[in-house]
Amino acid sequence: MTAPQPISVIIYALGGQGGGVLSDWLVEAAHLAGYRAQGTSIPGVAQRTGATNYYVEIYPEREPDADPVFCLFPSAGDVDLVVSLEPMETGRALNAGYVTLETTVVTASDRIYSIGEKVVPGDGTASASPVLTALEAAAKKLVSLDIGAMRERPNATFFGAIAATGVLPFEKDSCRQAISATGIAVESNLAGFEAGLVAASAPERSDDEDPATAPETAPPSLAELTAQFPQQLRAVVDQAISRLIDYQDEAYARLFVDRLRMVYAADESAGGAIQEFRLACAIVPRLAAWMAFEDVIRVAQLKTRPERLRRIREECGASAGEIVRVVDFLKPGRAEFAGLLPAWIGRQLSRPESGRPRGGIAFKITTSAPWGYALLKVLAGLRPLRRGMMRYADEQDAIDRWIEAVVGVASSDYELACRLVDVARWVRGYGDVRDRGLSRMEALCIDWREKLADDPAALSVEITRALDEALLSPDSNCAPVA
Amino acid sequence: MAEVAKAVNRERSFARQVAKLQLGEGETFHGETILAVTKALLQSGVSYVGGYPGAPVSHLMDVLADARDTVLAPLGVQFEASASEAGAAALLGASIQYPLRGAVTWKSIVGTNVASDALSNLASAGVVGGALIVLGDDYGEGASIMQERTYAMAMKSSIPLLEPRTHMPKIVDMIERGFELSEASHLPAMLSLRIRAAHMTGEFVCRDNRSPAFGINSPLPGANYDYERIVLPPSTYVQEKAKFEERLPAARRFIVDNELNETFGPSGGRMGIILQGGAYGTMMRGLTLLGAADAQGVTKVPLLVLNVTYPLVPEQIQDFLAGKDSVLIVEEGAPAFIEQQIKAFAQEAGLVCRIHGKGLLPEAGEYTADTVRDGLRLFLEGLPRTDLTETAKSRAGALQQDVDSARAQLNEPIPPRPPGFCTGCPERPVFTALKLLERERGAMHISSDIGCSTFATLPPFNVGSTVLGYGLSLASGGAVGPSLGTPTVAVMGDGGFWHNGLTTGAINAHWNGHDGVLVVLENGYASATGQHHLPSTGSTPWGRQIQVSTERTLKGLGIEWVRRINSYDLGGSLKTLREAFDKRGAGLRVVISDQECMLARQRRERPAKAADKAAGRPVTTQKFGIDEEVCVSDHSCMRVNGCPSLTLKHTEDPLKDGPIAHIDKTCVGCGLCGEIVETVGLCPSFHRTERFANPNLLRRLGDWLNRGLMRALGAS
């Protein structure tokens, strides 16, 4: 009873990442090096974008006295190597008991989000950091690799990283031979393998966040405006100010500051200092985002940024000799067009018609060509006229009603005021999505005064429900499409 | 579809590995179980093979198709891609009257259910040529079907069930013995492989392939007539008696004489374990980790390994039980048929032995290594204390402690990861359209089917009310419509349509005048199993050109309202679906979406594009993108799409509400994102980029002009 135990390896991958090929390489490398090995996999329905896993056992002696008995399942507490191409899947392995102090872990550090995380309005994502921290403590050794930085499919790089850990009983050359023996994309896979060897020797833990863009700062002429607010607000206020200058002009940024000052004052007098001015902090991004509402002019402005076409070129990986055409999908509705007109004309055109689909005209505009670009440029050029337009007037009215409500509620219920700030997440998106959100918001901001006086508990329930709905069932009363 | 699917274009091609099927006596085979099974069939001298694809034996059909012309035909072996499992089971009818060995394959339990009519008749008539059914038992992790045991089917029809040790030489040997067992008992036999066993790699020493005595290269002397083989009284009564008085006893004799079941470990002893062959690996691992065995097969605990789980041989079981105080039965799934029989055998023989099983091991669910080890630990803990039980106890405790302390490091929940449609899948837009139609017409009763389209029942679509079986969606809504008072919608793939949907669904609905809509997702293949060819694909699995038209078939039945949609045209699809839904009183309305499976299409187009690009020919590549600044993190687009390439990206912008939408480099440019913007008016942040590699002179000239004008406009 002294026979050594097989070396056990689990590979976690998502459909399409090449986990099966990686598993085949491992088995083939063992075979070429004269070791007995057994591989298996669980593709099942998971082969279509879900999680798949592979399990390989390698017997560590070249010529055992008797046939080794392999097992098709990993055992909790008895896994030598966990390889995972997605960090949450590595976390799943840890939860299943497959990572202990005997286990070497080679994992991707960057997230591939699941559908459940994607459909949440706002941020529904789970961070990889706690999982990587847990693995650091739970495993014998942790190697984490940034897949996003890899050029091709990550499996060959992972194979290299596995070979570098020293868990396999055979030489790296057997791995190279296994890649060559497969006969598919040998050159790029061998390059990936070598890159993995290097990466695992000098592991670098990277976070799943993208590199920061340079923070926007307010111009010096407006710098004194931010100084009146407490420290924790200043950086964001700075950004908000420069965003709104970009959006309209300095006067518009000052309007933002005036509105914020009202809320800050209400916050202060409600004793917000001990709460770190939670109310004012919360309203800065929401107010700035709302004030920078995306009308036709704004969208045209963003889509005609001088650096945009170059950035898109890079994103789609076009090489020097390739020509890139960019086609934008826009579907402004009657409301969007009416919004561009002075209020007294616009109202005539956009009378609400209940139950009727919203409609709109679908445009496909080639923004990489002169005519398309020029069209958007003209629309963006309407910016100085924005203050006279119906949409502007409507949005400002709605914002003022909201600010008024927040300030009013803050004096009697600080917590509820914070929630009323958060409810502005309803005011988001475009077209029908925004219309629905806006009317949801309006309803809350109309008779809050009476409700606060008569039945504050009911108002609290109403606001909380609106907030929950915004988060949990954002499409609950979607209008039909045209 | 016809023009795109001429060539054989499956997810996995075994063309390169088929050479391994030619290995001769003494040579070592090294590869997958699926290939080893095929080799074993050829070594057994089969005359014919067939089957219906389904995980985990889908690829057995691929191997057979790839080997058809080069290996099977020269040997004299006939191959048929059956229309359903019922068709495959009926194929075994050749072995009733003639000394022909035949094998078929399918997914169990569902395929066995579909085949059960033919199987009952086959087992009653009895066979003279060995008939073997290779089952992929889709049970446990990774399964896509309801969890039931094949064992009940074996019992009710008296079909021997082989569940070999998951050791490749043993699997190959049991296939060869399976034919002999079938001929010795005149019963067809089933050999079951679980998911992990079907995908296993390993090696075995080959024997030469055998040409069948009779087959496509050496015809039978003539057709037979034998009324005793007809399933009609009085033959049926004779057959029933024969099954229990002659055939099963003959099977038991064969099992014992040929030592199909195996014992390991010391003989005698006060305790032991009886297990299914498939559980041998997990049991040995459990024993090893608890210090009662080693990794080279030496065990201190006596084991009786049942490579044949039906029929059991009472004498063999009783011999093993004799003199033992405690025995553990390891039997996966419920009901515990084996345990019940063994308890009865013990009682009949007057043996006083405590028989454990489902008390120590879970009633239902897969028996993983951890499950088996845990049951083993409980079994050993209940025995009188010995060195062995004490060692087991301390080892189990140490392992548990290691695992617990590692797990304690992670307190965050891990988000679940349900499967979904692939990037660019042509079925996704149909469900986007149905979801949008539901916003107009209120919630609809939508009957789902088996296949990729079942993924629509998961987020983000959550579309689908019931799943009743392959091709049964239309039939399953039959009683719903009249009670709801609204038309119902049934969705099925082309696989389901040809399997069962045409007869049980379309004909039935047309005949009974159902008021409803059938959506046929004709993507050209049985895609979920790996793009297997169908009657409407345009060619057989081995490349013969033939096409059966879905549309003409339906029209031939007299169904008038049949429309085709291009699912990537979301607005058009929605319009047609709306029209179909609203067409009350027009009988069955059929909407056929006829875009090819994107996996298959990419597999064909990607290499062609790469070759064009390398050769300097013009190549256009489409991809979608999102303007970061325009996206407002509402993610409405995700809730009607769910494409894997449409994902999230964190931004440093503190004024955004969360991560913004992002289209990663796996986008294939199917266009749905743009269609959603056009149809729903969702969001202006989407753009399409078209990359022209190796542009021709005209395009280069245009680009030159373009860039000049754009510079003048200040665009770059």
pLDDT in tens, B408-462: 999 999 999 988 999 999 999 999 999 999 989 999 999 999 999 999 999 999 9
Compare B12 and B20 and report the one with higher pLDDT. Answer: B20
Residue where a domain terminates, one of A254, A269, A292: A292
Our CA-based measurement puts residue B410 at a distance from the nearest CA of chain A, in whole angstroms, of 5
The answer to whether the CB of B564 falls within 8 A of the CB of B550 is no
Q: Most B CBs within 10 Å: which of A5, A25, A28, A40, as the mutation test of the B interface?
A: A40
- Provide the pLDDT for residue A207: 47
The answer to whether the CB of A390 falls within 8 A of the CB of A255 is no
Our CA-based measurement puts residue B193 at a distance from the nearest CA of chain A, in whole angstroms, of 12
- Provide the pLDDT for residue A209: 44
Enumerate the residues of chain A whose CB falls inside 8 A of the CB of residue B413.
126
Contact A240 B655 (CB under 8 A): yes
Residue B232 has pLDDT above 80, yes or no: yes
Closest CB to B634 among A15, A65, A428: A428
Lowest mean pLDDT among A423-437, B50-64, B261-275, B306-320: A423-437
- Distances in Å between the Cα of B574 and the Cα atoms of B269, B428, B577, B669 are 72, 13, 5, 20
Closest CB to A302 among B196, B629, B710: B629
On average, the pLDDT of chain A sits at: 88
Q: What percent of chain B has pLDDT over 90?
A: 90
pLDDT tier at A211, thresholds 50, 70, 90? very low
Closest CB to B657 among A67, A99, A428: A428
Per-residue pLDDT tens over the stretch B47-64: 999 999 998 998 899 999
- Provide the pLDDT for residue A350: 64
CATH top-level class for B262-401? alpha beta
pLDDT tier at A210, thresholds 50, 70, 90? very low
Q: State how many domains chain A has.
A: 3
Enumerate the residues of chain A whose CB falls inside 8 A of the CB of residue B706.
368-370
A258 plus A315 within the same structural domain: no
* pTM across the whole model: 0.93
Enumerate the residues of chain A whose CB falls inside 8 A of the CB of residue B691.
316-318, 322-324
Minimal Cα distance from A52: which residue of B? B142
Our CA-based measurement puts residue B30 at a distance from the nearest CA of chain A, in whole angstroms, of 9
A303 plus A279 within the same structural domain: no
Average pLDDT over residues B236-262: 98
Contact B659 A326 (CB under 8 A): no
Closest CB to A329 among B281, B297, B677: B677
Lowest mean pLDDT among A107-116, B14-23, B431-440, B614-623: B14-23
> What's the half-sphere exposure (Cβ side, CA atoms, 13 Å) at A342?
2
Residue where a domain terminates, one of A292, A321, A339: A292
Residue A256 has pLDDT above 90, yes or no: yes
How many helices and strands (H and E) does chain B possess? 27, 28
Average pLDDT over residues B581-588: 92
Residue B541, helix vs strand vs coil = coil
Contact B692 A306 (CB under 8 A): no
Our CA-based measurement puts residue A268 at a distance from the nearest CA of chain B, in whole angstroms, of 23
- Provide the pLDDT for residue A152: 64
What does the alpha-carbon distance between residue B85 and residue A186 come to, in Å, rounded to a whole number?
A: 40
Contact B680 A431 (CB under 8 A): yes
Contact B295 A69 (CB under 8 A): yes
Enumerate the residues of chain A whose CB falls inside 8 A of the CB of residue B693.
319, 321-322
A169 plus A224 within the same structural domain: no
- For residue B163 the two structure tokens come to 């569940």
Closest CB to B687 among A112, A328, A360: A328
- Provide the pLDDT for residue A227: 86
Average pLDDT over residues A5-11: 97
- Nearest CA-CA partner of A474 in A402, A424, A426: A426
A45 plus A167 within the same structural domain: yes
- Provide the pLDDT for residue A16: 78
Domain that holds residue A87: 7-201
Contact A40 B399 (CB under 8 A): no
Please indicate, yes or no, if residue A405 is contained in any of the structural domains.
no
A132 plus A184 within the same structural domain: yes
Closest CB to B420 among A49, A76, A99: A49
A128 plus A277 within the same structural domain: no
On average, the pLDDT of chain B sits at: 94
A319 plus A265 within the same structural domain: no
- Provide the pLDDT for residue B2: 39
ipTM: 0.95
Please indicate, yes or no, if residue A107 is contained in any of the structural domains.
yes
Per-residue pLDDT tens over the stretch A177-188: 999 998 888 999
What does the alpha-carbon distance between residue B108 and residue B113 come to, in Å, rounded to a whole number?
A: 8
Contact A328 B686 (CB under 8 A): yes
- Provide the pLDDT for residue A354: 44
Enumerate the residues of chain A whose CB falls inside 8 A of the CB of residue B460.
115, 118-119
Lowest mean pLDDT among A164-168, B400-404, B652-656: B652-656
Per-residue pLDDT tens over the stretch A148-202: 777 667 899 999 999 999 999 999 999 999 999 988 889 999 999 999 999 888 6
Give pairs for B694-700: CB < 8 Å, separation 24+. B694/A321, B694/B612, B694/B613, B694/B616, B694/B617, B694/B618, B694/B619, B695/A321, B695/A322, B695/A323, B695/B618, B696/B618, B699/A323, B699/B618, B700/A323
CATH top-level class for B618-712? alpha beta
Enumerate the residues of chain B whose CB falls inside 8 A of the CB of residue A333.
681
- The dotted CATH code for B428-600 is 3.40.50.970
Our CA-based measurement puts residue B678 at a distance from the nearest CA of chain A, in whole angstroms, of 5
- B274 forms beta bridges with B304, B329
Minimal Cα distance from A363: which residue of B? B678
DSSP-derived secondary structure letter, A210: P
Residue where a domain terminates, one of A242, A265, A292: A292
- Provide the pLDDT for residue A358: 56
The answer to whether the CB of B623 falls within 8 A of the CB of B688 is yes
Residue A398 has pLDDT above 60, yes or no: yes
A159 plus A75 within the same structural domain: yes
Please indicate, yes or no, if residue A411 is contained in any of the structural domains.
no
Contact B655 A236 (CB under 8 A): yes
Minimal Cα distance from B289: which residue of A? A78
Contact A121 B634 (CB under 8 A): yes
Enumerate the residues of chain A whose CB falls inside 8 A of the CB of residue B461.
none
- Provide the pLDDT for residue A355: 42
Residue A80 has pLDDT above 80, yes or no: yes
Strands (E), B566-618: 588-593
Residue A482 has pLDDT above 50, yes or no: no
- Provide the pLDDT for residue A173: 97
Residue A17 has pLDDT above 80, yes or no: yes
Compare B490 and B712 and report the one with higher pLDDT. Answer: B490
Closest CB to B633 among A76, A122, A432: A122
Please indicate, yes or no, if residue A432 is contained in any of the structural domains.
no
Average pLDDT over residues B287-311: 97
Please indicate, yes or no, if residue A190 is contained in any of the structural domains.
yes
Residues near A141 by Cβ (< 8 Å), separated by ≥ 6?
A104, A105, A165
- Provide the pLDDT for residue A151: 64
Residue B5 has pLDDT above 70, yes or no: no
Q: What percent of chain B has pLDDT over 70?
A: 99
Q: Most B CBs within 10 Å: which of A49, A244, A440, as the mutation test of the B interface?
A: A49
Please indicate, yes or no, if residue A449 is contained in any of the structural domains.
no
- Provide the pLDDT for residue B428: 96
At residue A83, φ and ψ (nearest 5 deg) are -115, 130
- Provide the pLDDT for residue A44: 53
Please indicate, yes or no, if residue A450 is contained in any of the structural domains.
no
At residue B290, φ and ψ (nearest 5 deg) are -95, 10
Closest CB to A116 among B166, B416, B649: B416
What is the second-level CATH architecture of the domain B20-210+224-256?
3-Layer(aba) Sandwich (3.40)
Would B262-401 and B428-600 be classified into the same CATH topology? yes
- Provide the pLDDT for residue A448: 87
A48 plus A109 within the same structural domain: yes
Contact B399 A326 (CB under 8 A): no
Please indicate, yes or no, if residue A178 is contained in any of the structural domains.
yes
- Provide the pLDDT for residue B490: 98
What does the alpha-carbon distance between residue B84 and residue B57 come to, in Å, rounded to a whole number?
A: 14
Enumerate the residues of chain A whose CB falls inside 8 A of the CB of residue B678.
329, 331, 362
A306 plus A284 within the same structural domain: no
Contact B692 A377 (CB under 8 A): no
Enumerate the residues of chain A whose CB falls inside 8 A of the CB of residue B569.
none
What does the alpha-carbon distance between residue B143 and residue B364 come to, in Å, rounded to a whole number?
A: 14
A109 plus A78 within the same structural domain: yes
Q: Most B CBs within 10 Å: which of A69, A119, A151, A281, as the mutation test of the B interface?
A: A69
A288 plus A302 within the same structural domain: no
Per-residue pLDDT tens over the stretch B64-73: 999 999 999 9
Domain-wise residue ranges, chain B:
20-210+224-256, 262-401, 428-600, 618-712
Closest CB to A433 among B284, B295, B636: B636
pLDDT tier at A477, thresholds 50, 70, 90? low
Closest CB to B296 among A68, A117, A212: A68
